[in-house]
Amino acid sequence: MLDQANVPATAVVGLQWGDEGKGKLVDCLAGAHDAVVRYNGGANAGHSVVVGETRYALHLVPSGILHPGVRAVIGNGVVVDPGRLGEELDGLIERGVDVSGLALSSRAHVVMPYHKAEDELREALLTRRVGGDASGARAVVGSIGTTKRGIGPAYAEKVTRSSAVRVGDLLRPELLREKVELACAVKNAFFTALGVEGFEPFDAGAIAEEAAAHGERLRHTVTDTTELLLDLLDDGRRVLFEGANATMLDVDHGTFPFVTSSNASALGIGPGTGVPPQRVTRIIGVVKAYSTRVGGGPMPTELDDAVAEGIRERGREFGTTTGRPRRVGWLDLVAVRYAARVCGATELNLTLLDVLSGVETLRLCTGYRVEGAVSGRFVPDAFDLDRVEPVLEDLSGFGEDISGCRAWGELPAAARAYVERVEAYVGVPVASIGVGPDRSQIIERGR
């Protein structure tokens, strides 16, 4: 499946706002690799993989865990909620999955209880919207729409350094206690000063004790994953990098401030694993055949009609992590081309094409109209992007059920034309096409 040729390191990265189907592709590729590596994000990400009649929802564990003998590596760029990780492992074990190949970076930072509380509090407080210019456009400067899993505060603590807890610290009780006491002193003073009704000060001793227990549970998985990965590559082994979230949510290159707190593009591989980017020579950009987004932030092609509802129901567009209905829109090629360039994508995997079956007219965004002028340049800033008008190009839809297609020539002519237009605009070949959730429902171009 999806020939690796002689590529030692491959990356799978989403080129939209997430939920593109990266987990399925990683699962398909994992068997041809010796390790699958998660390099960013936390339990705010969710990858769905369907194996036969079984659907797996993975949040912290790399999708490669479903392949015996393949190392599943959580890199230093991930923020880890040890309790949720333990629960996820228990769920996999109950379903007969061998989790002995998991390797957890000792340098990954830990999401603590006070991070979750801070995340929820900030979202509750930052709900103010402000008016825009005379055109009626608006930019949100308050709530970001986070999953309230403590991801942002954990990354913020990482940058402040002194009280940040790393996975390795969970195995050093005395140091752990000191860091937690310092963090709790600061957080308690912060929340008390805000006058939060009903706030109960954090108990540093109880939190440290619970964290240490989680550390003992995970002790056998903790290692220097940078050395592990470099040694694998030096030995000629194959490594697959699995991006969480997606490029439009990259903290530096996405639709700021409605982004996640890490580098979710392919640019996050280096700092998130310690592997130099030049060693990753195949970068597969995953693109959903339409656009979706969860939470706040601008999405120029968003729909709010029967077409959107039909796509949402057929595509099961509800968050893997949150269960929230996803916003739906036409495929934004301006955004996809930008993301492909940022990530250095060498090929595209176009997913969920089957969901568009039955839509009479398909539309693609091929430009943005800004103050009367049309541009093909993406705007990676929420305030400015909120003011663009999408320029849409119409293509004929297809009514056939394509979920059973397994070869390029079996697709209806209109479906092939849609794929070819995506390829031509983005300037990157569409190497594979998803026509359903199962492992087998992938069409490989050229086969």
SS3 content of the chain, % helix, strand, coil (to 5): 35, 25, 40
- What six digits make up the tokens of 329? 């829109």
Question: CA 248, CA 256: separation in Å to the nearest integer?
Answer: 9
Q: Which two three-digit tokens encode residue 292?
A: 């979706």
Length of the chain, in residues = 447
Active-site annotation holder among 33, 34, 47, 109: 47
Residue 9 CA to residue 30 CA, distance in Å, equals 12
Residues 6+ apart with CB under 8 A from 55: 48, 49, 437
Q: Give burial (CB, 10 Å; 0-12/13-18/19+) of 323.
A: exposed
19 is catalytic: yes
CB of 44 closer than 8 Å to CB of 245: yes
- Which listed residue (19, 81, 119, 169) is catalytic? 19
DSSP strand pairing (361-370 vs 389-396): antiparallel
Half-sphere exposure of 390 (CA within 13 A, CB side): 21
Task: Read off the tokens for 81.
Answer: 């909620």
CB 359 within 8 A of CB 395: no
* Contact status, residue 424 vs residue 436, Cβ threshold 8 Å: no
Active site residue 47: yes
C-alpha 134/C-alpha 112 separation (Å) is 44
What the block records as the tokens of 50 is 């369907």
> Which is nearest to 238 in space by CA: 441, 447, 73?
73
Question: First CA to last CA across the chain, in angstroms?
Answer: 11
Catalytically annotated residues: 19, 47
